[in-house]
A = this chain, B = another copy of it.
Amino acid sequence: MTEPRWSEYTLRRRVQFYEVDSAGIVHFSNYFRYLEEAEHALWRAAGLSIAPPDAEVGFPRVAASFEYHRPLRFEDEIEVHLRVEAMTDKSIRYGCTITVDGRRAATGSVTIVCARRQPDGTLKAASIPPAIASRFEVARTEV
């Protein structure tokens, strides 16, 4: 019997004071951190860590984007909806929607690639190990 594969995760968290800039809204760079928090929670739900102490591979980001529809403010309770939108042998693309009070605040996307550290310290693209790839699948739902 096989375990179910994961394709979605919803992280609930509150906007912290140090994430808000002097315009009174969450600094645009922090949305990428919110997406990443949801990604790592998805991996934990799937029984994995994206960066275990003895990791042989890492997952650097090769592309990241957000569109901002509505500001987020201090103490807002937000939901970060993450979905696996595409997978290849070496990469995963996530889609992300951040909502506040049920309304869409931002939509984003991040693509990660599997990389193995070479003896000279540089990173080289590698196949995602089966123990990781087998835990995820592309989400069927659209948001």
Q: Which single member of B29, B44, B62 contacts A68 (CB below 8 Å)?
A: B62
Out of B22, B60, B64, name the residue touching A22 (CB < 8 Å). B22
Q: How many residues of A contact B (CB 8 A)?
A: 40
Within A36-73, which residues are at the interface with B (CB < 8 Å)?
36-37, 40, 44, 49-51, 53, 58, 60-68, 71, 73
Binds B, one of A12-20, A86-94, A96-104, A125-133: A12-20
How many identical subunits does the complex contain? 4
Is A116 an interface residue when CB atoms closer than 8 A count as contact?
Answer: no
Check A33 for interface membership: any CB of B closer than 8 A: yes
Pairs A–B under 8 Å by Cβ, sample size 29: A16-B33, A16-B37, A17-B21, A17-B22, A17-B27, A17-B36, A17-B40, A18-B29, A18-B36, A20-B21, A22-B23, A22-B51, A23-B51, A23-B58, A28-B32, A28-B60, A28-B61, A28-B110, A29-B29, A29-B33, A29-B36, A40-B75, A44-B75, A51-B75, A53-B121, A60-B68, A60-B71, A63-B66, A64-B68
